[in-house]
Amino acid sequence: MAVVLDTPVADFQAEATSGQTVKLSALKGQQVVIYFYPKDSTPGCTTEGQGFRDQYSAFQAANTLIFGVSRDSLKSHENFKCKQEFPFELISDKDEAVCQLFDVIKLKKLYGKEYLGVDRSTFLIDKEGVLRQEWRGVKVPGHVDAVLAAAQALNKA
């Protein structure tokens, strides 16, 4: 069952960088941004991650945690996180369980070939674990600012 706006997000647990296991229910009391991206160290994904990195302190001030998710391995994530100096954890979703929960696996085309890939998407979850906003088919420029504005507004609500 995929997530639906203004309803609680089903609890999930996933392996992340820094040897962490992320369990959504353990994050209650803080807002959570989960952003899905296609692949570590690619231009758009790097730019998007850098945007979240550069605004990290503003997200912290808005009581908001950030997690990036892709199907890459933890080793790939650790390299990407280290190289880009991301202050947040990256979740490895090799079995696509989290991707399926948020319904971000879509049919894509590259050089005329179709394949199933991650649709760049971001989700804002409130302190009670309820999905409050979603962005699908994200274009990177300006996206992090829009997510930050939503997180700040939700934190004040």
pLDDT at 154: 96
- State how far the Cα of 121 lies from the Cα of 123, in Å rounded to an integer: 7
- State how far the Cα of 23 lies from the Cα of 46, in Å rounded to an integer: 25
Q: Greatest CA separation found in the chain? A: 46
The answer to whether 99 is a known catalytic residue is no
| pTM of this structure | 0.95
Give the active site residue among 9, 24, 33, 45.
45
Overall CATH class of domain 13-156: alpha beta
- pLDDT, tens digit, 9 for 90 and up, residues 85-113: 999 999 999 999 999 999 999 998 889 99
pLDDT higher than threshold 90 for residue 76:
yes
Q: Which residues, including other chains, have CB under 8 Å from residue 116's CB and lie 6 or more apart?
A: 105, 106, 107, 108
pLDDT higher than threshold 80 for residue 41:
yes
Per-domain boundaries in the chain? 13-156
